[in-house]
Amino acid sequence: MLSWGAAGGRALRWANGRAGTRGLRASPRARVAMPSWVIDRYGSNEVLRFTREMMFPIIHFPNEVIIKVHAASLNPIDLSMRSGYGATALNMKRDPLKLKAGETEFPLTLGRDVSGVVMECGLGVSYFKPGDEVWAAIPPWKQGTLSEFVVASGNEVSFKPKSLSHTEAAALPYVGLTAWSALNQVGGLNQSNCSGKRILILGASGGVGTFAVQLMKAWDAHVTAVCSHDASTLVKKLGADDVIDYKSGNLEDQLKTLPLFDFILDNVGGSTEKWALDLLKKWSGATYVTLVTPFLINMDKLGVADGMLQTGVTVGSKTLKHLLKGVHYRWAFFMPSGPSLDEIAELVDSGKIGVPTQARIGRTTACLYECNL
């Protein structure tokens, strides 16, 4: 069944006692098919199809593991991928040399987050063993997690936080790693350099935003969060020092009354990019990082070569333009990383990052499905 997880994801949990009753062996010799939610073409919700005949995942590389899915999540990226967003770039990643010219990506399983149990390990895997409880965020170019089993690289997997159930754990990996990529990998923030820094988070009530608020507070930063009024209570509970309601007046004018910021995380994009960088401290190393980029859209519209060229020109020109004004401009993307999930798990188990109880983000409504496996 699909039930609400947290941080903007909906956790999928196979009905108790119905999954895995045909035997627990993960060997492809023992299992050839499994239940999955798949799509056979791009479109809206009607393209979703439940099947019990999805090909069972096989370990192709020695560093891979097969995970029995206990819970999975849906994120906005899954809805976009269902409609065909990023197909050009993702297909290039799936088959960069075009060795499978006659094949397509279908049937395609969506779902990025997983919490479950390791069932089988490749010969090169020494960090995990069958029976270990793990969590992971599977890259979007791989088959997803809305299945009974999923295969992942060992370096994408981490031990599940002991303090979370599988359903709770499945709500965090993708949004957590996206925020970690923006703040740590791209933005250069970490536990040792955040104390006292002023951080502005635009779109603070979504999955990435709620995680980012908690991470920055765990690292002792001062956080100003922008969200709607109905989400302000949640964001305050997560630790934000200042909460700005973007519906209560002109957001730019409200933010200009505050002291300048050392770092801005933009989950919104659009017109905010035109004025947000003016809120940064000039010539101090202050950085603006946006998660809203045209990279995949450019490749979908222009093709691989022209799309990459246009993307390079865009990011290069914007970086130079703002560097001359004394601030840094960066793009960030989700990055799969088991080691980063290790650090996130430590923060979760120490109580510094939690799973928000309010999982209805914006006006999205939860759906409930029985898998009937």
Instruction: Indicate whether 76 belongs to any domain.
Output: yes
Same domain for 165 and 69: yes
Half-sphere exposure of 343 (CA within 13 A, CB side): 13
pTM of the predicted structure, to 2 decimals: 0.89
pLDDT band at 30 (very low <50, low <70, confident <90, very high): low
Q: Which domain holds residue 103?
A: 33-171+356-370
224 domain-assigned: yes
Statement to judge: residues 52 and 148 lie in one domain: yes
Amino acid 57: pLDDT = 95
* 193 and 162 belong to one structural domain: no
User: How many distinct structural domains can be found in the chain?
Assistant: 2
Average pLDDT over residues 347-359: 85
Give me the helix-helix angle, 338-349 and 173-180, nearest 10°: 110
| Whether residue 322 is found in the same domain as residue 366 | no
Encode 259-272: b = buried (16+ Cβ within 10 Å), e = exposed. eebbbbbbbbeeeb
DSSP 181: I
Q: Mind listing the pLDDT tens digit for each residue in 149-166?
A: 999 999 999 999 999 999
- Residue 153 and residue 268 share a domain: no
Question: What pLDDT is stored for residue 366 in this prediction?
Answer: 29
Residue 315 sits in the same domain as residue 363: no
Residue 138 lies in a domain: yes
Alpha helix (H) ranges present in 192-294? Answer: 207-218, 232-237, 251-256, 272-275
CATH number, domain containing residue 119:
3.90.180.10
Query: Above 50 in pLDDT, residue 248?
Result: yes
* Average model confidence (pLDDT) across the chain: 89
CATH code at position 198: 3.40.50.720
Rounded to a whole number, what is the largest CA-CA distance in the chain?
Answer: 66
Please tell me the predicted confidence (pLDDT) of residue 130.
98
pLDDT digits (tens, 9 = 90+) for 91-128: 999 988 877 777 889 999 999 999 999 999 999 999 99
Q: Do residue 264 and residue 230 come from a single domain?
A: yes
| Within-domain flag for 262 | yes
The verdict on residue 345 lying in a domain is no
Report the pLDDT averaged over residues 291-308: 94
207 and 89 in a common domain: no
Any domain includes 179: no
On whether the CB atoms of residues 123 and 62 are closer than 8 A, the answer is: yes
Both 142 and 81 in one domain: the answer is yes
Single out the residue of 208, 203, 73 nearest to residue 144, CA to CA.
Answer: 73
Same domain, 309 and 194: yes
Nearest in space to 14 (alpha carbons), one of 80, 57, 68, 77: 68
Alpha-carbon radius of gyration of the chain: 21
Residue range 369-373: mean pLDDT, rounded: 32
More confident residue, 38 or 373: 38
Pick from 175-179, 236-240, 329-333, 358-362: least confident: 358-362
